[in-house]
Structure 1
Amino acid sequence: MKLSPEQIAQFERDGYLFFPSLFSPDEVKTLTDAVPALYARREAYNVREKGSDAVRTNFAAHLYSEPFAKLARHPRMVEPVQQIFGDALYMHQFKINGKMAFEGDVWQWHQDYGTWKNDDLMPEPRAMNVAIFLDDVNQFNGPLMFIPGSHRLGVVDAKHDLTTTSYPLWTVDNALIAQLVQRAGGKNGGIVSPQGPAGSMILFHGCLLHASTSNLSPWNRVSVYLSLCAVTNHIRRFKRPEYIAHRDFTPIITLPDDCLLKDVPVDLPWKDGMPASALQTSIDELKAA
């Protein structure tokens, strides 16, 4: 999938692009049918909500689930990022975020590149997220919120929040968010929230400030996120486990566009279980030295 010059200009201005209904209902069903079994696993790669059994994030499904291994190589998700960066890409992170009905907690205001820089020593913001909705997303079930144009500020000041939710995050304080929202238009477009049917896709810059509220509705809001990084910009530190921040910098080779609906072979290196090495970090190596 190729972006038009107008779409590239819009991305450079706003920091994101939204593609409603990019994937068909049959393609989405291939993915959603696989989610319950993934969420049921009692593995480190399933991070659950604080005080709840609901899954907040499932990591690295592309390494042990055939449908998500195909999605990780899907040209509609990979090719636009390759076009923007002009470089081969590797999978820095793959996650299925489960903002579950009544239980999905907030994601505080943050920049993804802030975490990639501070925790993983990723040199430059030459990485971004591509998200696909597995459920319809509306104003009630905790949709993503963006501050358009905030990616042009580069990395902003952040603090490491280890207490608000069950997942640590480099978050931005309220005063700065209020200032940036006002700068982006205040009540007239200072915050935007792409919403649409399952199968819609968002591409957004690693420095774009974003957040989401808790889900108090009776509707799930499950989304898949491919964090794609230029191979030449790979991370330099393995502070986080490999199931969170991947260490295989092999360039992604895309599959045919209809791969989700066809019997296309894919490699599943963790299909028989996650290796012990995926839990080890450079911090563990330092302690052992």
Structure 2
Amino acid sequence: MTKAKPAQSAASSDGSARRLGDEYIVSADELARFKRDGYVHLRGVMSESEMKVIDDAYDAFLDRRISVEGRDFNDMTTGEFGTDPANYAIVNVMLPRKYLPSLQGNLFERRAASIAKQLCGDGMVIDFDQLLAKQPFRNDAVFAWHQDQAYWIDTPDRRTATCWLAVD
């Protein structure tokens, strides 16, 4: 008796076969799910070693080694700012690439641009960036599933791809 081959090799299930430099290849099935459901979960967009630059930058923001002005560093649940972030349920850093320009054009941004183009077509650009950090063991650290477009101003081109990257 022979065992059936798995549907995906280890290389493809971790995303490595789909990472090609600045590109990440979205499958036809994933594109169809995005068009049908309005979202798609893409695994393995970044390897663990590729995450180091982003991990280090985010740690620097959360440790307050990078200065962020006023309300651009706040508690997403209350809007509180200028106080000890250890008390925040969800740390919200608005526009991290403004405060750390070396983040601009990082590998995740380039791959996200590749993904957005595949999902939405040409002409997609970065409009906004944000870091959210849920504090552990907090019942009020809830970030509910939602659709952003309801909050946005009306524009002739409503194409959008919000690219979230989970950072541990």
Please, what TM-score do these two structures have when normalized by structure 1? Answer: 0.40
Structure 1 unaligned regions, length at least 5: 136-289
Structure 1 counterpart SS, 2:45: coil
Please give the alpha-carbon distance, in whole angstroms, between the structure 2 residues aligned to 1:38 and 1:82: 29
Deviation, 1:130, is: 0.7
1:77–1:130 contact (8 Å) kept in structure 2: yes
1:3–1:80 contact (8 Å) kept in structure 2: yes
1:26 aligns with 2:44: no
What is the alpha-carbon root mean square deviation over aligned residues? 2.6
Q: How does 1:179-194 map to 2 (within 5 A)?
A: none
Q: Name whichever of 91-100 and 70-79 sits farther off.
A: 70-79
1:112 aligns with 2:135: no
Q: How does 1:220-239 map to 2 (within 5 A)?
A: none
The structure with the largest strand share of the pair is 1
Q: How many residues align?
A: 132
2:119–2:161 contact (8 Å) kept in structure 1: no
Structure 1 counterpart SS, 2:46: coil
1:43 aligns with 2:79: no
Distance 1:85 1:7, change over 3 A: same
Q: How does 1:33-72 map to 2 (within 5 A)?
A: 33-39=56-62, 40=64, 41-44=67-70, 45-48=72-75, 49-50=77-78, 53=85, 54=88, 56-66=91-101, 68-71=103-106
Deviation, 1:46, is: 1.0
Please give the alpha-carbon distance, in whole angstroms, between the structure 2 residues aligned to 1:28 and 1:108: 25
The equivalent of 1:9 in structure 2 is 32
The structure with the largest helix share of the pair is 2
1:81 aligns with 2:116: yes
Select the structure with the greater relative contact order (CA < 8 A; seq sep ≥ 6).
Answer: 1
Distance 1:110 1:6, change over 3 A: closer
Q: 1:56 is aligned with what amino acid?
A: V
The equivalent of 2:159 in structure 1 is 126
127, 138, 142: which is aligned to 1:92? 127
Deviation, 1:131, is: 0.9
Q: Deviations for 1:109-157, whole angstroms, at most 9, x for unmatched residues?
A: 53200111xxx3334431120111111xxxxxxxxxxxxxxxxxxxxxx
Q: Percent identity?
A: 23
1:62–1:72 contact (8 Å) kept in structure 2: no
